[in-house]
Amino acid sequence: MTTDTTTPDEILATPPGDLAIWFFIFAELLAFGVFFVAYAFARARHVALFNESQQQLDITSGAINTLVLITSSYFMVRAVAAIKQGLSRECARWIVAAIGLGGVFLAIKLAEFHDKFSAGISLSTNTFYMFYLSLTIFHFMHVILGMVILAAVMLKAKGGGYSAENHTGVETGASYWHMVDLLWIILFPLVYVIH
Amino acid sequence: MDTAQKRRFIRPCTFVWLLLMLLTVTTYLIGEAGLGGIAVMLAVLGTAVVKVQMVANYFMGLRRTRWLWRGIVLGWLLLVTGLITIAYLTAIK
């Protein structure tokens, strides 16, 4: 693990966290990017169907979940700031709060899925729902993975495993979590709002 | 990182967080009003581009890295949103 003694004014050669997570992040951006573009071009072939089906989505839930993920992401910024000062317990508390909001996101999304599945909607209902369900379930799984990563980082932070000089793991977990937020920031307007 | 450095690290991020919340509410209100059309699509997608850039540069800390890292994210973002725009315009014709 590398040692970090950087200040906020320095230009870094590589992004915060382990460089490996950044290659993983870029691969994820590529995968989701293809998915987003495929959605847009599928919509171009079935505009009326997509617009009609989109109106059945709960835009309020989508918006609340955006606020939840953005805030959770901000909590991870605070967790990184705390560990950079060597405050392990404060860092762990911010991560717990970030994970908690991840749980809120999952609960709201599950309620949305429950509504749709109860109405008899499935992947095979139509092209819009095929995209809506696969895109959001794919993202949902990334939220779960992010929460598992953050839980591991939080336990290590709580046990004093990081310090002001050595906290690459916290930045690695935070970078992945910000990516999950970043993807939802595009997914929400694309699937719930634009028509 | 001392207290002054911590403040310089957190303050811009707190401002960005509040801005992100505000922009999200704006997008929500546009969606709730059922607004559509090219101008609305460009405004909503443009807002998403700004938001992603804020998360990448401030939350992810890319503003403190070499241009290459910011360039990869910005290039990906413009390619994806550009293709989404083309797809949307194709649908109108």
- pLDDT, tens digit, for every residue of B4-56? 888 888 999 999 999 999 999 999 999 999 999 999 999 999 999 999 999 99
Query: Is B87 in CB contact (< 8 Å) with chain A?
Result: yes
- The whole-number average pLDDT for the span B52-78 is 96
Check A37 against B27: CB less than 8 A apart. no
Instruction: Output phi, psi for A54, to 5 deg.
Output: -60, -35
Taking an 8 Å cut-off on Cβ atoms, the answer to whether B80 and A189 are in contact is no
Count of alpha carbons within 13 angstroms of residue B29, beta-carbon side: 7
Place of tokens 């709580």: A158
Cβ atoms of A91 and A170 closer than 8 Å: yes
Domain with A112 in it: what CATH number?
Answer: 1.20.120.80
Whether residue A35 lies inside any domain: the answer is no
Q: What is the DSSP string of B52-67?
A: HHHIIIIIS-GGGB-H
- Cα dihedral B78, B80, B86, B87, rounded to 10, equals -160
A127 domain-assigned: yes
| Inside any domain, residue A61 | yes
Instruction: Give, in order, the Cα–Cα distances in Å from B61 to each of A14, A29, B66, B78.
Output: 10, 17, 11, 19
Whether B88 and A42 have beta carbons less than 8 Å apart is answered as no
Q: What is the mean pLDDT of chain A?
A: 95
Residue in B32, B41, B80 to test binding to A, most A beta-carbons within 10 Å: B80
Q: What is the mean pLDDT of residues B64-93?
A: 94
How much is the pLDDT for A2?
A: 46
Cβ pair A37:B80 closer than 8 A: yes
Average pLDDT (A157-169) is: 96
- Say if the ipTM goes beyond 0.90: yes
- A19 interfacial to chain B (CB closer than 8 Å): no
**Would you say residue A68 lies in a domain?**
yes
Closest by Cβ to A8, choosing from B8, B17, B80: B8
Neighbours of B36 (CB within 10 A): 15
Write the residue in B6, B20, B27 that is nearest to A193 by C-beta: B27
Q: From A195, which residue of chain B is nearest by alpha-carbon distance?
A: B36
Confidence of residue B2 (pLDDT cuts 50, 70, 90): confident
| pLDDT above 70 (res A101) | yes
Domain extent for A80? 57-193
- How many structural domains compose chain A? 1
Q: Do B83 and A40 touch (CB under 8 A)?
A: yes
d(CA B29, CA B51): 16
CA-CA distance, B23 to A52, in Å (whole number)?
A: 25
Within a domain: residue A32?
no
- pLDDT confidence tier of residue B93, bands split at 50, 70 and 90: low
The answer to whether residue A8 scores a pLDDT higher than 90 is: no
> What kind and span of H or E run contains A151?
helix A127-158
Q: Where are the domains of chain B?
A: 3-92
A chain contacts of residue B9, beta-carbon cutoff 8 Å: 8, 81, 84
Provide the phi-psi class of A87: left if phi over 0, else alpha when psi is between -120 and 50, else beta: beta
Tokens matching residue A138: 């794919």
- pLDDT for A1: 43
Distance from A178 to chain B by nearest Cα, in Å?
6
Q: Is the pLDDT of residue A5 over 60?
A: no
Give B60 to chain A, closest Cα distance, Å: 6
B23 to chain A, any CB pair closer than 8 A? The answer is no
CA-to-CA distance for B86 and A176, rounded, in angstroms?
Answer: 29
Burial class of B7 by CB neighbour count within 10 A (0 to 12, 13 to 18, 19+): middle
Give the minimum alpha-carbon distance from B65 to chain A in angstroms, rounded to a whole number. 4
